[in-house]
Structure 1
Amino acid sequence: MARALYIHWPFCEKKCPYCDFNSHVRERVDMEAWQAALLADMRAEATQTGGETLTSIFFGGGTPSLMPPRLVEVLLCEAQEVWGFDPNIEITLEANPSSVEAANFADLAAAGINRVSLGVQSLDDDTLKWLGRLHGADEARAALRTAGEHFERVSFDLIYALPGQTCQKWSAELEQALDFGSSHLSLYQLTIEPGTRFATDVRRGAFAPLDDEEAAELFALTQQRTEAAGLPAYETSNHARPGEEGRHNLTYWRYQDYAGIGPGAHGRRGGFATLRHKKPENFLSAVAQRGHGVAEQRLLAAPEKASEALLMGLRLREGLDIAHLEARFGIPQTDLVVPHKVAQYTDQGLLWQVGSRLGVSAEGRPLLDGLLAEIVADALVTT
């Protein structure tokens, strides 16, 4: 049964040019209607995933910090009522570091949020403007300080491997980030996602992405600096002090069950994959007609579940237990991974093995996608 809950708030003030998330800009949002719809969707999901108390809740988006704190409080009260909370529950909300949203941090903390993830993205004004962000660097620094005053745990995101970015420039920005003393950083290389404005810009020749070799140098620099600062990578792009890892995202990477509500939210529960309607208006209509926002629910075959578990678990520094996957999905280890490929890349130092536990080494992490394509058994990939 699900022990984690994801709540999606789909609205943003502006669509960022690199973003391919389910986010929408609307002139007006009827908060009463959204409160009623999200509560109904939550209750419907709880009937399918009850039985265990929640260990984590994550408000994602979109921009959840645009939600009125009272709405956040109502949703948390309902979640506690229908599921129950673990005494050490982690409740995270994604926020933009604008002064307007930072003004709500005290009320959001009072509502029950105990961890915030700030979408800083850069500490340089010119870069923020290019990324289409609505805040400035000084505003972001102020929001980080305010967040530290109100929340038990603070994480923030930065984007690197930008066009023309050098090791020197990124090193200086990374040092600034580490100086804030946050216990968790999410450091993502810029990816040009299909359907985004940046994808159109690249196609038209407005800019060229950083080449792979230069991006690999920045990735290596990132791993070295965060490790030295006591925030090693516990996942490809996520760095934390030991014990401060994001518990909610670990649910995904360890392939544990989670419930997802709100427009476009995904879920994995009891062997089923769920997907809510993405367009906000369609989600509201579905809830009004059927009492929930589910657009698709399908039973996953064992090979598909095993493939997902491998692709997620091998992103983690801790790796995963192949014998455990064999027992869980009823698939022999030799049908999960390609033995001779695993042996080959282990000999090359790109993978590591301890008993039945398998993981990607620090040297292999920059090559993760290629390694996964090589070692995950064809029978899983083609299912």
Structure 2
Amino acid sequence: MNIRVQGVDLALYVHWPFCVSKCPYCDFNSHVRASIDQDAWRDALLADLAHEAALLPGRRLTSIFFGGGTPSLMEPATAEAIIRAATGHWAPADDLEITLEANPSSVEAERFADLAAAGVNRVSLGLQSLDDDALAFLGRAHSVGESLQALDIAQHSFKRVSFDLIYALPGQTIAEWQAMLQRGLAFGTGHLSLYQLTIEPGTRFATLLAAGKFTPLNADASADLFELTAAMTDAAGIPAYEISNHARAGQESRHNLTYWRYGDYAGVGPGAHGRRLGLRTVRHRKPENFTAAVARNGHGMVEEEALSPIEAADEALVMGLRLAEGIDPAAIAGRFGLASVVDQRAVARLVASGHLEWVGSRLRTTAAGRLLLDHVLGAIAAVQPMLRREVPAIA
């Protein structure tokens, strides 16, 4: 195997696994605990980080992302210690992006100033909806009033702010989503993550759906809302740079772009995935198993697997075509030593049908293609079967 490292830049993902409660739609690695020993968790994360750093010397750190779970439950001193350690292990970029995911509760918003002082310069707020009934359906513990207060505090505390909204809820109309998105766009943030509700296996929503407790929005109505979202965000100057992520020019998440452009990123903390030097890394998911592994081995690793050139190229194709900029198929093939990563005849058919387009050497989806992204990917992959190993989404 000969997978070439893509530059010397590196992103760092730190997973904080704890939440106040488990949302019914969430399939992320999150856990509810009666108490959290902040000192013990700080030590465990620092040890896991040191292990990764020893394996990745000489890299330039371009971003740190605290994901979860709910990282805003982390003590600011813990975040500060991790930031200090990471920028000691690796040379930080001059414009190092440090993001922390946060819930908009009043308790967590009170920590924003201290988190900013600790070094966090970008926050991603899980507003999820601007309607109290929708928040109740989604199992969120905050109200719209708390959301707006937290957003105001965040915009005064951090250089950059993003927030999430979930749409395509059962029964949601075009008029309802249009009004909510218009309100969200008026807040003036530089980045929005706008996700359609999906029912993931193993979640409480999956159980409720199986019991006939609610009916999801149908595919045609969801597609209409997706197209409306694209039109409204384009008009507001905050277009999609990825299927679900929208940003003003220069406000794109650097961490997300590293991930989707298939760069290396170190993943530490329970359940964290990473990609380094042609390897896929996975940490223990359960917090107690993670800390036991760190005490025993000095790291929380449960899996470390070499990616074949075909697997790596497939992942690069899947992730890259989520981006508005698309991919350079020849560059991906060259990077992984393959003759091709796309079926040129299938690409030609999809270009003719208006689902793909060439912009110089780059291949990207059109508006019609983005609606059928999974179909497009399955059709053009030069190597079958395509592999779909899921790693945590980051915003």
Give the shorter-chain TM-score range.
Answer: over 0.9
Number of residues paired by the alignment? 381
- TM-score if structure 1 supplies the norm length? 0.98
Tell me which of 359, 362, 375 is aligned to 1:370: 375
1:378 CA drift (Å): 3.7
Contact 2:13 2:64 in 1 (8 A): yes
For 1:1-383, list aligned pairs within 5 A: 1=8, 3-333=10-340, 336-379=341-384, 381=386
Distance 2:170 2:190 in 1: 28
Contact 1:2 1:269 in 2 (8 A): no
1:362 CA drift (Å): 1.7
Contact 2:314 2:387 in 1 (8 A): no
Contact 2:80 2:118 in 1 (8 A): yes
- TM-score if structure 2 supplies the norm length? 0.95
Structure 1 counterpart of 2:301, one-letter code = V
1:195-229 CA-partner distances (Å, limit 9, x unpaired): 00000011000001110000000000000000000
Distance 1:20 1:119 in 2: 15
Structure 2 counterpart of 1:79, one-letter code = A
User: Greater shift after overlay, 127-136 or 80-89?
Assistant: 80-89
Distance 1:151 1:2 in 2: 24
Structure 1 counterpart of 2:226, one-letter code = F
Structure 2 counterpart of 1:329, one-letter code = F
1:84 CA drift (Å): 2.4
1:374 CA drift (Å): 1.1
1:64-105 CA-partner distances (Å, limit 9, x unpaired): 000010111111111111112111000000000011100000
Moved over 4 A (4+): none
Contact 1:98 1:135 in 2 (8 A): yes
Q: What root-mean-square deviation, in Å, do the aligned CA atoms of Structure 1 and Structure 2 show? A: 1.0
Contact 2:326 2:362 in 1 (8 A): yes
Structure 1 counterpart of 2:75, one-letter code = P
Distance 1:279 1:241 in 2: 37
1:290-323 CA-partner distances (Å, limit 9, x unpaired): 0000100011000000000000000000001011
Structure 2 counterpart of 1:350, one-letter code = H
Structure 1 counterpart of 2:323, one-letter code = L
Structure 1: 5+ residue runs without aligned partners?
A: none
Distance 1:153 1:238 in 2: 15
1:36 CA drift (Å): 0.9
Distance 1:186 1:31 in 2: 29
Distance 1:112 1:152 in 2: 11
Contact 1:2 1:259 in 2 (8 A): no
